[in-house]
Amino acid sequence: MREKSRSKKWVLLWLLPAVAVLAMFYIVPIFNVIIYSFSNTSFFGEKIGGFTFNSYKTLFSSKTFIDVIKTTGVFVLASVFFQLLFGFLSALAVVWGENKGLRISPVIVRTIILSAWVLPGVAVGIVWKMLLSEANYGILNYYIKLLIGEKIMFLSSPKWALFSVILANIWRGTAFSTIIQYGGLKQIPPELYEAAKIDGASSWKRLLYITIPQMKQMNFINLALITIYTFNTFDMIMALTGGGPGRSTEVLSLYIYDKVFGQWSLSTGAASAVVLLLINLIIVIFYYKAMKIGEISHA
């Protein structure tokens, strides 16, 4: 008993530095943001004088904020859906190549996928801006003009700009989704496929009744992570469109940045950040509950 108590003390002692760093850089700033959200504080205006709900009233009565929420919703739903789909197809392709004995092709695919994932968001935004630009150096528009005789306003038209941002984010996020789903596919016991082949199940039925059900838990984790990442996307959009033209590609993270560093409104920016935090918490709780229900039903 004494040895156990001593070991627990040592574990707690070793955890103290991590807890201190977590508190300093995450917990304390979160509490500060929450406090600022219930104030009228700005960089050059009023200081905290008492708690008020004015920031939240202003936020939810603002048409701009409602439009930003809608834009964020479209951006997240489209990005997450296609990241899951393309990630699954890419992972299936890599596993299929390995099963067929193709050594070079899976290595090349994995290298391309990893290179897309490790690139910083700013670099991704700049690369896609060069691809989609309507200027003379725009690579994609150069070939489009050769084919149809005119350019597509990928970054100047509000609808095309949102499409461009979603496309760039799908390209970036598919890499992470592929890595997660590739790990899930490799964990499926080969005996299940062998038994299904003996029973005469086609490739489509093996995919539908073995692969997809076996990937359910991994996809819950994948879905939660890429949804949170997509909701918090900032650097790529800032480099690609800056939230424009107008506010057509301004998602919630850019709205927070503009409120705090563009309009110097700490209180409204903090309230927006709290809304984003609550969205992330809801996503985590929802997928945690869904995973628990899935484990119970699977058992």
In the prediction, which pLDDT does 50 show?
A: 62
DSSP track, 32-45: HHHHHHTS---SSS
- Looking at this protein, which amino acid is placed at residue 214? Q
- pTM here is 0.86
Mean pLDDT for back-to-back runs of 10 residues, the chain (299 residues): 60 79 82 85 62 85 92 95 92 83 67 76 90 85 87 89 94 89 88 86 86 85 89 92 89 92 86 91 82 59
In the prediction, which pLDDT does 239 show?
A: 92
CB atoms near residue 279 (< 10 Å): 18
Decide: 172 and 123 in contact? Cβ < 8 Å: no
In the prediction, which pLDDT does 105 show?
A: 62
119: alpha, beta or left? (left if phi > 0; alpha if psi -120 to 50): beta
Q: Mind listing the domains of the chain with CATH numbers? A: 51-298 (1.10.3720.10)
- Looking at this protein, which amino acid is placed at residue 9? K
Instruction: Quote the DSSP letter at residue 168.
Output: H
Distance CA 49, CA 41 (A): 9
pLDDT tens by residue, 69-118: 999 999 999 999 999 999 999 888 888 887 777 766 666 776 777 777 77
In the prediction, which pLDDT does 81 show?
A: 95
- The residue length of the chain stands at 299
Decide: 193 and 199 in contact? Cβ < 8 Å: no
- Side-chain-side CA neighbours of 82 within 13 Å: the count stands at 15
Considering only CA atoms, give the Rg of the chain. 24
State which H helix or E strand residue 274 sits in: helix 266-298
Instruction: Quote the DSSP letter at residue 234.
Output: -
Q: Tell me the CA distances in angstroms from 119 to 115, 128, 131, 228, one per residue in order.
A: 6, 12, 16, 18
